[in-house]
A and B are shown apart, each in its own frame.
Chain A
Amino acid sequence: MSASAIIFYIISAFILVAGLLAMTTRKIFRSAIWLLFSLIGVAALYFWLQVEFIAAVQIIVYVGGIVVLIIFSIFLTQQSGNEMPKQPLKRIIFSALAVLSGFGLTFLQIAKYNFQPTTKNFDWSVSKIGSQMLGTKAGGYALPFEVVSMLLLAAMIACIVIAMKAPSHPAPEAKELEDSKKNLARTLELSNIKSQNVLPLEEDLGGAST
């Protein structure tokens, strides 16, 4: 067994252990960190397969983008130190059974098929990828490229629209804030009447809220 094979088995054990822990640990923040390690392991596997471009894309987009986004959303929506509630044992057993039988069936097929890899070298280069990506001849990927760019634009606009606070239905905390502002305005008004202060109310409010 050569060094390359040993490195492959180490990387794959790392990916699988990190993925399994990400899916079974009950603290959600730890789950996100294990997912991060698993994705780094997949990037390492791409390095081992000598497709460094995909490995770089994997690290930039997944590790640098998606996992950071997931961690931000965990901080926005969860008490990250709390444990998630335990699932019923029945569900765990049956899903493990389903998953194991699916895995056995799939891997049996793979082992039976006996793939014969060719001995030719895989010759890719970034310039080849780029010219084929924007090529309009047969085998060019210019149309999917444009479609994906439109998809990204649509996704960006949709994210802004979905996550924007609707003005007609204020969220509970916004309503509370508004109520407290009203109370503040009323007390200020009262105090204004008491002290016969002629300062306009808006100025008072602005000073009080900042």
Chain B
Amino acid sequence: MTELVTQETTGEASARRDVPLLLSVRGLRVSYRTPRGTMHAVDGASFDVGQAEMLGLVGESGCGKTTAARSLTGVLAGNARVTGGSVTFTGRDLLALDRQDARAIRWTEIAFVPQSAMNSLDPVYRIEAQLLEVLARGNIRGRAARLRARELLDMVGLPHTVLASFPHQLSGGMRQRVAIALALALNPLLVIADEPVTALDVIVQREVLDTMRDLQRRLHVSVIMITHDISVVAYCCDSIAVMYAGQVVESGPSAVLLGQAAHPYTMGLCNAFPDLERAADLLVPIQGSPPDLHEPPTGCRFAARCPFALERCAQEPPPLTEIAPGHRAACWRSGEAAALRVRATEASTWMP
């Protein structure tokens, strides 16, 4: 069975700031053609993923995180188009690849665990067949494939009896582990997991997160974990990128971003997550709702809901700038972040 790596804080990982970058996304733009017009789902997102690093891509529904992640694998909806930016993966520009090459790196170098992956397993095939199918894409067949299938199940902590089962015979947590096994089958360099634990119960969620964290460490795989839950990223991610209205508004090592947030949206998000280990303080909502991405506002997108907004904020969009080594924020007032953080902890700041 797996040995769980406990007690390691993410401080060590964040110290490896000089880790070579596996993936570098700059100014990514993805749009959808809808009956109402063009929807700019991702409109200038930039973030990095280092070698053997777990990045948490955090944001609420509609912020563009899933779209951004899917564009990395080249699997986008029919009406979606990448309209700008660059994605550099191990030195190659992913956006410039033709369909053939993009298809080739899927599963072998970049693997995607879709949202509610446990429901995306084919119900009419046994688990072993599904594992073998993916292994065949990497030209692993026959005896070698069957051995590898067993090895993968060991890695995710499932008994070999699962091989003969159909998806509906397994619990949600077990199916999620199968989805993770499928993603790791061909030793990819990067695994993108979209809301991998959202649909799971708390205890199962914890177990799956522990498994993912342990595997990530042992296999030196990079992971992008997409979620809306800050507690989950705090638990297992080395670094975090916060997305809002199609853009990355803040990114940096987990400890730094959560402890010294520099963007008001991040500060607001932290207020919205209750901390079980502390007293039941007042939860403070962020008033209003995200802007309509069919007609994105000029200037900072969070300005309408930001308690610290200046006139400048509504007119000029702040660029994502490095305010400390490895810590980037897109806010005109990031220099006053310490003072703003104090004010952000008070409920009255967020009331209209």
A, B in one complex: no
